[in-house]
Protein backbone atom coordinates (compact mmCIF):
# COMPACT_ATOMS: atom_id res chain seq x y z
CA UNK A 1 0.00 0.00 0.00
CA UNK A 2 1.53 3.32 -0.98
CA UNK A 3 2.18 5.74 1.87
CA UNK A 4 2.04 9.50 1.69
CA UNK A 5 5.70 9.53 0.66
CA UNK A 6 4.89 7.81 -2.58
CA UNK A 7 2.18 10.29 -3.35
CA UNK A 8 4.69 13.06 -2.75
CA UNK A 9 6.67 11.35 -5.47
CA UNK A 10 3.68 11.40 -7.80
CA UNK A 11 3.31 15.11 -7.21
CA UNK A 12 6.96 15.51 -8.05
CA UNK A 13 6.36 13.45 -11.15
CA UNK A 14 3.88 15.97 -12.45
CA UNK A 15 5.66 19.03 -11.06
CA UNK A 16 8.87 18.24 -12.91
CA UNK A 17 7.05 17.60 -16.16
CA UNK A 18 4.80 20.61 -15.90
CA UNK A 19 7.07 23.38 -14.58
CA UNK A 20 5.35 25.94 -16.65
CA UNK A 21 5.37 29.47 -15.39
CA UNK A 22 7.03 31.73 -17.91
CA UNK A 23 7.39 28.83 -20.37
CA UNK A 24 6.35 29.18 -24.00
CA UNK A 25 2.73 28.25 -24.59
CA UNK A 26 2.20 26.19 -27.71
CA UNK A 27 0.15 28.04 -30.29
CA UNK A 28 1.31 31.42 -29.00
CA UNK A 29 4.28 31.79 -31.37
CA UNK A 30 6.70 30.91 -28.59
CA UNK A 31 5.85 33.87 -26.37
CA UNK A 32 6.09 33.16 -22.65
CA UNK A 33 2.90 32.19 -20.83
CA UNK A 34 2.64 35.36 -18.78
CA UNK A 35 -0.77 34.31 -17.48
CA UNK A 36 0.81 31.87 -15.02
CA UNK A 37 2.40 33.99 -12.28
CA UNK A 38 3.06 30.94 -10.09
CA UNK A 39 2.42 27.36 -11.22
CA UNK A 40 2.52 24.01 -9.42
CA UNK A 41 4.11 23.81 -6.00
CA UNK A 42 2.61 26.43 -3.68
CA UNK A 43 -0.72 26.33 -1.87
CA UNK A 44 -2.40 27.87 -4.90
CA UNK A 45 -1.43 28.73 -8.43
CA UNK A 46 -1.39 32.45 -9.16
CA UNK A 47 -2.99 33.29 -12.46
CA UNK A 48 -3.33 36.50 -14.35
CA UNK A 49 -6.38 36.49 -16.67
CA UNK A 50 -6.03 38.14 -20.09
CA UNK A 51 -7.31 41.72 -19.94
CA UNK A 52 -10.85 42.29 -21.14
CA UNK A 53 -11.71 38.59 -21.55
CA UNK A 54 -14.38 36.51 -19.85
CA UNK A 55 -13.14 33.34 -18.17
CA UNK A 56 -14.89 30.05 -18.93
CA UNK A 57 -14.40 27.18 -16.50
CA UNK A 58 -15.62 23.60 -16.38
CA UNK A 59 -14.87 20.42 -14.43
CA UNK A 60 -15.38 16.79 -15.39
CA UNK A 61 -14.62 13.47 -13.71
CA UNK A 62 -13.77 10.30 -15.59
CA UNK A 63 -14.18 7.12 -13.54
CA UNK A 64 -12.43 3.89 -14.49
CA UNK A 65 -14.79 1.28 -15.94
CA UNK A 66 -17.53 3.89 -16.22
CA UNK A 67 -15.97 6.39 -18.64
CA UNK A 68 -12.99 4.33 -19.84
CA UNK A 69 -11.71 0.78 -19.26
CA UNK A 70 -9.38 0.68 -16.26
CA UNK A 71 -6.99 -1.51 -18.25
CA UNK A 72 -6.69 0.96 -21.16
CA UNK A 73 -3.35 2.43 -22.17
CA UNK A 74 -2.63 5.25 -19.65
CA UNK A 75 -1.33 7.52 -22.44
CA UNK A 76 -4.72 7.24 -24.14
CA UNK A 77 -6.67 7.67 -20.92
CA UNK A 78 -4.84 10.97 -20.31
CA UNK A 79 -5.49 12.09 -23.88
CA UNK A 80 -9.20 11.35 -23.63
CA UNK A 81 -9.55 12.92 -20.17
CA UNK A 82 -8.04 16.22 -21.24
CA UNK A 83 -9.65 16.31 -24.69
CA UNK A 84 -13.20 15.81 -23.44
CA UNK A 85 -12.67 18.68 -21.01
CA UNK A 86 -11.16 20.83 -23.76
CA UNK A 87 -14.27 20.11 -25.81
CA UNK A 88 -16.33 22.03 -23.25
CA UNK A 89 -14.06 25.05 -23.71
CA UNK A 90 -14.40 24.76 -27.49
CA UNK A 91 -18.18 24.59 -27.12
CA UNK A 92 -18.14 28.02 -25.43
CA UNK A 93 -15.69 29.42 -27.99
CA UNK A 94 -13.09 29.83 -25.25
CA UNK A 95 -9.35 29.60 -25.85
CA UNK A 96 -7.60 27.19 -23.46
CA UNK A 97 -5.53 28.70 -20.64
CA UNK A 98 -5.07 26.48 -17.59
CA UNK A 99 -6.14 23.20 -16.04
CA UNK A 100 -5.91 21.41 -12.72
CA UNK A 101 -5.85 17.66 -12.16
CA UNK A 102 -7.18 15.60 -9.26
CA UNK A 103 -6.00 12.04 -9.66
CA UNK A 104 -7.21 9.12 -7.56
CA UNK A 105 -5.02 6.06 -7.97
CA UNK A 106 -5.19 2.57 -6.48
CA UNK A 107 -1.40 2.43 -6.31
CA UNK A 108 1.70 4.41 -7.12
CA UNK A 109 2.85 2.58 -10.23
CA UNK A 110 5.54 4.26 -12.35
CA UNK A 111 4.66 2.01 -15.31
CA UNK A 112 1.21 3.60 -15.31
CA UNK A 113 2.20 7.12 -14.25
CA UNK A 114 4.92 7.67 -16.82
CA UNK A 115 2.74 7.17 -19.92
CA UNK A 116 -0.18 8.94 -18.23
CA UNK A 117 1.92 12.03 -17.48
CA UNK A 118 3.38 11.91 -20.99
CA UNK A 119 -0.09 11.68 -22.56
CA UNK A 120 -1.28 14.56 -20.45
CA UNK A 121 1.68 16.81 -21.21
CA UNK A 122 1.68 16.07 -24.95
CA UNK A 123 -2.06 16.76 -25.18
CA UNK A 124 -1.66 19.94 -23.14
CA UNK A 125 1.15 21.09 -25.46
CA UNK A 126 -0.94 20.38 -28.51
CA UNK A 127 -3.83 22.55 -27.34
CA UNK A 128 -1.84 25.24 -25.54
CA UNK A 129 -3.21 24.60 -22.06
CA UNK A 130 -1.05 24.69 -18.92
CA UNK A 131 -1.29 22.44 -15.85
CA UNK A 132 -1.24 24.77 -12.85
CA UNK A 133 -2.11 22.51 -9.94
CA UNK A 134 -3.16 19.09 -8.85
CA UNK A 135 -3.86 16.63 -6.11
CA UNK A 136 -3.40 12.89 -5.75
CA UNK A 137 -5.26 10.53 -3.45
CA UNK A 138 -5.44 6.78 -3.03
CA UNK A 139 -8.56 4.98 -4.17
CA UNK A 140 -10.26 3.55 -7.25
CA UNK A 141 -8.87 5.10 -10.43
CA UNK A 142 -10.57 8.35 -11.35
CA UNK A 143 -9.46 11.51 -13.08
CA UNK A 144 -10.92 14.94 -12.45
CA UNK A 145 -9.81 17.78 -14.65
CA UNK A 146 -10.87 21.38 -14.36
CA UNK A 147 -10.22 23.54 -17.40
CA UNK A 148 -10.28 27.30 -17.71
CA UNK A 149 -10.26 29.31 -20.89
CA UNK A 150 -10.78 32.86 -22.05
CA UNK A 151 -13.42 34.13 -24.43
CA UNK A 152 -14.50 37.32 -26.15
CA UNK A 153 -17.90 36.12 -27.35
CA UNK A 154 -19.03 33.02 -25.44
CA UNK A 155 -21.35 30.62 -27.27
CA UNK A 156 -24.15 29.83 -24.82
CA UNK A 157 -27.04 27.38 -24.95
CA UNK A 158 -29.77 29.88 -24.31
CA UNK A 159 -29.64 32.11 -27.39
CA UNK A 160 -31.44 30.05 -30.06
CA UNK A 161 -34.43 31.61 -31.82
CA UNK A 162 -37.49 30.13 -33.55
CA UNK A 163 -36.58 29.02 -37.08
CA UNK A 164 -32.82 29.00 -36.45
CA UNK A 165 -31.07 26.29 -38.43
CA UNK A 166 -29.44 23.49 -36.44
CA UNK A 167 -25.96 22.40 -37.49
CA UNK A 168 -23.53 19.74 -36.35
CA UNK A 169 -19.80 19.60 -37.04
CA UNK A 170 -18.09 16.71 -38.85
CA UNK A 171 -19.63 13.26 -38.28
CA UNK A 172 -21.73 11.65 -35.57
CA UNK A 173 -21.85 8.23 -33.98
CA UNK A 174 -18.17 7.26 -34.04
CA UNK A 175 -17.66 7.59 -30.28
CA UNK A 176 -20.65 5.43 -29.38
CA UNK A 177 -19.93 2.93 -32.14
CA UNK A 178 -16.37 2.60 -30.83
CA UNK A 179 -17.50 1.50 -27.38
CA UNK A 180 -18.04 -2.25 -27.96
CA UNK A 181 -14.52 -2.49 -29.44
CA UNK A 182 -13.03 -0.32 -26.67
CA UNK A 183 -14.63 -2.62 -24.12
CA UNK A 184 -13.40 -5.71 -25.94
CA UNK A 185 -16.94 -6.99 -26.54
CA UNK A 186 -16.21 -7.31 -30.24
CA UNK A 187 -12.84 -7.39 -31.94
CA UNK A 188 -13.26 -5.35 -35.12
CA UNK A 189 -11.06 -5.21 -38.20
CA UNK A 190 -7.67 -3.47 -38.20
CA UNK A 191 -9.25 -0.49 -39.97
CA UNK A 192 -12.06 -0.31 -37.41
CA UNK A 193 -9.55 -0.55 -34.56
CA UNK A 194 -7.75 2.49 -35.96
CA UNK A 195 -10.97 4.50 -36.27
CA UNK A 196 -11.99 3.42 -32.76
CA UNK A 197 -8.69 4.58 -31.33
CA UNK A 198 -9.04 7.98 -32.97
CA UNK A 199 -12.71 8.44 -32.09
CA UNK A 200 -12.54 7.27 -28.50
CA UNK A 201 -9.12 8.28 -27.22
CA UNK A 202 -8.31 11.25 -29.45
CA UNK A 203 -11.59 13.14 -29.96
CA UNK A 204 -10.88 16.52 -31.53
CA UNK A 205 -12.16 19.52 -29.55
CA UNK A 206 -13.79 21.72 -32.20
CA UNK A 207 -11.92 24.98 -31.54
CA UNK A 208 -11.55 25.92 -35.21
CA UNK A 209 -15.24 25.49 -35.99
CA UNK A 210 -16.21 27.34 -32.80
CA UNK A 211 -13.98 30.28 -33.73
CA UNK A 212 -15.41 30.37 -37.26
CA UNK A 213 -19.07 30.31 -36.21
CA UNK A 214 -18.57 32.77 -33.33
CA UNK A 215 -20.15 35.68 -35.20
CA UNK A 216 -23.07 33.66 -36.59
CA UNK A 217 -24.22 31.11 -34.04
CA UNK A 218 -27.07 31.95 -31.65
CA UNK A 219 -26.44 28.94 -29.37
CA UNK A 220 -23.98 26.05 -29.15
CA UNK A 221 -22.81 23.09 -27.11
CA UNK A 222 -20.63 20.05 -27.58
CA UNK A 223 -22.38 16.75 -28.19
CA UNK A 224 -21.39 14.55 -25.28
CA UNK A 225 -24.67 12.74 -24.55
CA UNK A 226 -25.97 12.29 -28.11
CA UNK A 227 -27.48 14.81 -30.54
CA UNK A 228 -31.06 14.08 -29.53
CA UNK A 229 -30.46 14.77 -25.84
CA UNK A 230 -28.10 17.67 -26.46
CA UNK A 231 -30.34 19.57 -28.91
CA UNK A 232 -33.03 19.21 -26.23
CA UNK A 233 -30.63 21.03 -23.86
CA UNK A 234 -30.38 23.95 -26.29
CA UNK A 235 -34.16 23.86 -26.64
CA UNK A 236 -34.76 23.90 -22.89
CA UNK A 237 -32.21 26.67 -22.29
CA UNK A 238 -33.70 28.77 -25.10
CA UNK A 239 -37.34 28.03 -24.23
CA UNK A 240 -37.90 26.26 -27.55
CA UNK A 241 -38.10 22.87 -29.21
CA UNK A 242 -36.43 21.43 -32.28
CA UNK A 243 -37.18 19.36 -35.35
CA UNK A 244 -34.51 17.15 -36.87
CA UNK A 245 -34.44 15.73 -40.39
CA UNK A 246 -32.66 12.48 -39.76
CA UNK A 247 -31.82 11.70 -43.38
CA UNK A 248 -29.41 14.64 -43.21
CA UNK A 249 -27.36 13.33 -40.25
CA UNK A 250 -23.67 12.93 -41.18
CA UNK A 251 -23.30 9.36 -39.92
CA UNK A 252 -19.74 8.22 -39.16
CA UNK A 253 -18.51 5.37 -41.40
CA UNK A 254 -17.48 3.60 -38.19
CA UNK A 255 -21.10 3.68 -36.96
CA UNK A 256 -22.23 2.27 -40.30
CA UNK A 257 -19.65 -0.52 -40.32
CA UNK A 258 -20.17 -1.53 -36.67
CA UNK A 259 -23.83 -0.75 -36.06
CA UNK A 260 -25.31 -1.51 -39.48
CA UNK A 261 -29.05 -0.80 -39.33
CA UNK A 262 -28.60 0.83 -35.93
CA UNK A 263 -26.16 3.42 -37.34
CA UNK A 264 -28.75 6.19 -37.54
CA UNK A 265 -29.89 5.65 -33.98
CA UNK A 266 -26.25 5.55 -32.83
CA UNK A 267 -25.54 8.87 -34.57
CA UNK A 268 -28.66 10.36 -33.01
CA UNK A 269 -28.54 9.04 -29.45
CA UNK A 270 -25.03 7.68 -28.86
CA UNK A 271 -22.74 9.75 -26.67
CA UNK A 272 -19.05 10.66 -26.85
CA UNK A 273 -19.10 12.56 -30.15
CA UNK A 274 -17.57 15.83 -28.88
CA UNK A 275 -18.73 17.52 -32.05
CA UNK A 276 -20.46 20.89 -31.91
CA UNK A 277 -24.19 21.33 -32.24
CA UNK A 278 -25.16 24.93 -32.87
CA UNK A 279 -27.96 27.10 -34.16
CA UNK A 280 -27.73 29.84 -36.78
CA UNK A 281 -30.37 32.46 -37.64
CA UNK A 282 -31.54 32.44 -41.27
CA UNK A 283 -29.90 35.81 -42.07
CA UNK A 284 -26.40 34.41 -41.40
CA UNK A 285 -26.72 31.26 -43.54
CA UNK A 286 -25.10 32.72 -46.65
CA UNK A 287 -22.10 34.12 -44.78
CA UNK A 288 -21.70 30.87 -42.89
CA UNK A 289 -21.88 28.83 -46.10
CA UNK A 290 -19.10 30.91 -47.64
CA UNK A 291 -16.73 29.65 -44.91
CA UNK A 292 -16.90 26.06 -46.27
CA UNK A 293 -16.79 24.55 -42.79
CA UNK A 294 -17.14 20.81 -42.10
CA UNK A 295 -20.71 21.27 -40.84
CA UNK A 296 -24.14 19.91 -41.78
CA UNK A 297 -27.60 21.45 -41.35
CA UNK A 298 -29.83 18.87 -39.67
CA UNK A 299 -32.99 20.72 -38.65
CA UNK A 300 -34.65 23.88 -37.31
CA UNK A 301 -35.57 25.27 -33.92
CA UNK A 302 -39.31 25.54 -33.34
CA UNK A 303 -41.60 27.24 -30.84
CA UNK A 304 -43.18 23.99 -29.71
CA UNK A 305 -41.14 22.33 -26.95
CA UNK A 306 -39.60 18.87 -27.31
CA UNK A 307 -37.65 17.34 -30.17
CA UNK A 308 -39.47 16.02 -33.20
CA UNK A 309 -37.60 13.64 -35.48
CA UNK A 310 -38.51 13.04 -39.12
CA UNK A 311 -36.99 10.60 -41.58
CA UNK A 312 -37.80 11.57 -45.18
CA UNK A 313 -40.78 13.50 -43.88
CA UNK A 314 -42.19 10.66 -41.75
CA UNK A 315 -42.29 10.92 -37.97
CA UNK A 316 -39.60 8.77 -36.41
CA UNK A 317 -39.37 7.52 -32.81
CA UNK A 318 -35.99 6.75 -31.34
CA UNK A 319 -35.55 3.95 -28.82
CA UNK A 320 -33.40 5.97 -26.39
CA UNK A 321 -32.73 9.62 -25.60
CA UNK A 322 -28.98 9.75 -25.12
CA UNK A 323 -26.61 8.72 -22.38
CA UNK A 324 -28.08 9.04 -18.89
CA UNK A 325 -25.51 9.62 -16.18
CA UNK A 326 -27.71 8.32 -13.37
**Contact footprint for Mg ion (CB under 5 A):** 88, 222
How near is the Cβ of 274 to Mg ion at its closest, in Å? 8
Q: What CA dihedral angle connects 119, 125, 128 and 132, to 10 degrees?
A: 70
Closer to Mg ion by CB, 9 or 63: give it: 63
Closer to Mg ion by CB, 88 or 272: give it: 88
Q: What CA dihedral angle connects 61, 64, 69 and 72, to 10 degrees?
A: 90
Closer to Mg ion by CB, 164 or 272: give it: 272
How near is the Cβ of 65 to Mg ion at its closest, in Å? 22
How near is the Cβ of 137 to Mg ion at its closest, in Å? 26
Closer to Mg ion by CB, 56 or 77: give it: 56
How near is the Cβ of 138 to Mg ion at its closest, in Å? 30
Closer to Mg ion by CB, 39 or 149: give it: 149
Closer to Mg ion by CB, 91 or 178: give it: 91
How near is the Cβ of 297 to Mg ion at its closest, in Å? 21
How near is the Cβ of 291 to Mg ion at its closest, in Å? 23
HEC secondary structure over the chain:
CCCHHHHHHHHHHHHHHCCCCCCECCCCCCCECCCEEECECECCCEECCCCCCEEEEEEEEEEECCCECCCCCHHHHHHHHHHHHHHHHHHCCCEEEEEEEEEEECCCCHHHHHHHHHHHHHHHHHHCCEEEEEEEEECCCEEEEEEEEEECCCCCCCCCCCCCEEEEECCECHHHHHHHHHCCCCCCCHHHHHHHHHHHHCCCCCHHHHHHHCCCCCEEEEECCCHHHHHHHHHHHHCCEEEEEHHHCCECHHHHHHHHHHHHHHHHHCCCCCEEEEEECHHHHHHHHHCCCCEEEEEEEECCCEEEEEECCEECCCCCCCCCCC
How near is the Cβ of 223 to Mg ion at its closest, in Å? 8
Closer to Mg ion by CB, 60 or 73: give it: 60
Amino acid sequence: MPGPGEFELIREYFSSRFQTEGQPRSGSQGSADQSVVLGIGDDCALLSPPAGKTLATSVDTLVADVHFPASADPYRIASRALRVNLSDLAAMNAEPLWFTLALTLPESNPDWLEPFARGLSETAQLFGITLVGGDTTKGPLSITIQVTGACDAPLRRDGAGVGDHIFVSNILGAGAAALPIVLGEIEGSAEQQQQVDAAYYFPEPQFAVARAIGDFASAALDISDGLLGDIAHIGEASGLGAELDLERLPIAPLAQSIKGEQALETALTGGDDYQLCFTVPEQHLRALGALQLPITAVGRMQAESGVRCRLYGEDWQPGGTGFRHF
